[in-house]
Amino acid sequence: MDNMDSITSFVPLWEAPDNIRNTVEVADFHNNRDHHAFKLRFRSCSVISTSTTTENDRPLPTVKILGTGGTIASKASSSQATAGYKVDLTIEELVSQIPDLLGTCHLEYEQVMNIDSSEIGLEEVVLLRNQIVEDLDKYDGLVITHGTDTLEETAFFIQSTINTSKPIVFCGSMRPSSAISSDGPMNLYQAIVIASNPASHGRGVLTSLNDRIGSGYYITKSNANSLDTFKSVGQGYIGNFVNNQVRYYYPPAKPLGLTIFEVGKKLCLPEIPILYAHQGFNNKIIKLMITELEAKGLVIATMGAGSLSTGTNEVLSTLVNSEIPIVYSKRSMEGMVPIEALPKVNDRPMENVIAGGYLNPQKARILLQLCINAGYSLKQIKKVFKSV
């Protein structure tokens, strides 16, 4: 391909001319195969580059997309519908919709699963994590397509269990692929460009939606319908995407107070239910969680910044074993629960109650699960949460 040194393009391998097909090496050729866990067929690693250098003779980065499903991979019954859709597209079909990546990267992809993110549990998250760990040494960056409903939980788990400087970028969409002005293709395109950019290294897990780059550690879905849904108002965005350019606001840095946990390929996390506080909260629910679910810890979405009724605090102090950690998180999207707001019963602090800091209940649950799984003492768990 000496006469093609100045040309960089991306073509499906099965459509490439014979002279290219015979000279280009790829990790995994275009083969149909059945997914080991889900009822779908997919093609893996079937997009290649016909050049190995950029205009400035720098090697192009290699990026891999891991598809998991979600709205970005969904179709509705009409182009006007933005609800009632079903996951129906493979990652190969998603890649075919994105703009030209001329001179951006070598691109490969694999379908890890293809489900709605509401169906994702520990088994699926661990499956995805294992695939990320397997791929990290082979690629310069990874992109994860994911449903937006639980994207923040998966991103937080990945951030808390993988220590790497390479960019891992999550993206999704709020509109199905069949909708007018679907946001999926642009979000995916931008995520690929972000993962290809050297400036994205050392920033932790990232999210790419609606032209904004966020931290997977802090970002949360704030609106059930709007495109501009992923926010972290207190911590802010890391950067944005304007006119085909990645623009970061700050030097590379990971979230302050981040704890990285070592976990194996197989993982069984303890039962940690989340209780949502409200007026007239029925304290019998607490007993149910402890006796029936055998919960190893609790997370409570408190009212305000750690506020619960006197009766609920008293029940927690008498019913819950003092060795079972209880994290006081908050219902509100922003703000924090400080240590000083934790309750006292009979003028004595509850030793097993932990301030959730800035974390929302769903992320506090994951962090508490990882702490308990690591065998941390109550004192160590408090130290971990003190920094968040």
Q: Which residues are catalytic?
A: 71, 148
User: Does residue 218 sit in helix, strand or coil?
Assistant: coil
Residue 157 sits at φ, ψ, to 5 deg, of -65, -45
Residue 362 CA to residue 22 CA, distance in Å, equals: 50
- Is 117 annotated as belonging to a binding site? yes
Decide: helix, strand or coil at residue 95: helix
CA dihedral 36, 42, 43, 47 (to 10 degrees): -130
As to burial, measured by CB atoms within 10 angstroms (0-12 exposed, 13-18 middle, 19+ buried), residue 145 is buried
Q: Which two tokens stand for residue 354?
A: 């932990």
For residue 270, what are the β-bridge partners? none
Closest C-alpha among 367, 374, 151, 372 to residue 264? 374
How many whole angstroms separate alpha carbon 308 and alpha carbon 279? 9
- DSSP H helices, 163-202, are 184-196
Residue 149 marked as a ligand binder: yes
Q: Are 70 and 116 in contact (CB under 8 A)?
A: yes
- The strand pairing partners of 69, in sequence order, are 115
Backbone angles phi, psi at 138, to 5 degrees: -95, -15
Nearest to 108 by CA among 92, 130, 132: 92
How far apart CA 282 and CA 260 sit, in angstroms, is 36
Cα dist. 367→305, 357, 372 in Å?
19, 12, 9
Q: For residue 198, what are the β-bridge partners?
A: none
Find the angle CA(273)-CA(274)-CA(280) to the nearest 5 degrees: 120
Cα–Cα dist 78/82, whole Å: 9
Q: What is the dihedral of CA 85, 88, 92, 97, to 10 degrees?
A: -30
Report the alpha-carbon distance of residue 137 to residue 134 in Å, rounded: 7
Annotated binding site for substrate: 117, 148-149
